[in-house]
Structure 1
Amino acid sequence: MVPPIPRELTEEDKLFQAVKDRNVDALNAILKAGKVNVNAMRPVDMIQSTVLYVAALYPCMAIVQSLLAVPTIDVNLPNRIHKNATTPLMRSIQKGNLDIADVLISRHDTMCNAVTDSVATEVASYNRAAIVPKLWPRLSPALRAKVPSIISTSTS
């Protein structure tokens, strides 16, 4: 069998590797060069993910802050485009990285509404109630209106 021909890494490949390695210096050098799409997706654990989503998996505050400083980053881009997608915010909550979640929530453009119907249950099942007071004011009125019906349905 012929071994595969090694390919040169793209800037996006290097970006993802720097985040996985928690290498702040490499990340900042890549970002400074300005030749990378910070919203690109790559397979991580067989799931198409953004670099910010990966930063929620491999938490490092300096990495997250560097990524959030890029004006074009989309903090609401889910890890994969289908019904069960989750955002970097929801993933950081699920993983218990509440300091990362707090930084994401503090941005004016972070949507705190669940991307999927299952996320609210997942967050609750991970016992992350401490984040609820921070999320509640940012939820859409439509979702807030659903909460009493969800609670009454689950307690019946």
Structure 2
Amino acid sequence: MDDRPPRLASGFTEAEHSTGLLLWQVTNRWQAAQRAALKPHELTHVQFVLLASLAWLQADGPVTQRQLADHAATDPMMTSQVLRALEARGLVHRPPHPQDRRARALAVTDEGRALADRAVVAVESCDSAFFAALGADVGAFTRALRTLGRS
């Protein structure tokens, strides 16, 4: 007689066949690697993403908080909180929006730009090492992620 409880009522016979579980596991490992890569720069991963995204976007003109949150796919309220932390560190500021006198734009300070430029090297190196196991399939994986990102 088996006293073990029944398995989860899953459609999978093996847990490692679940795409969602695998994505969860890989994401957690990747985030841990990114945290380690960003630690010397004293940035959290979300701080880096918003700082780097802002530096990227502002090359095309003034950036609003909504544009930044949409680009980074972050929650607007969390984006606001992280921006306040970056602003307190002198990495971003909110100058008047040149086309809308009632609004503020977001901009990276010179110190923020220098930090983003240093940190992106660490992040991209971390990504290269992490995804190296995919070998020649990394391009297909990136395209698949782009597809999922659009859905």
Please indicate, yes or no, whether the TM-score normalized by the shorter chain is above 0.5.
no
Larger radius of gyration between Structure 1 and Structure 2 = 2
With structure 2 as the length reference, what TM-score do the two structures score?
0.23
Bigger helix fraction = 2
With structure 1 as the length reference, what TM-score do the two structures score?
0.23
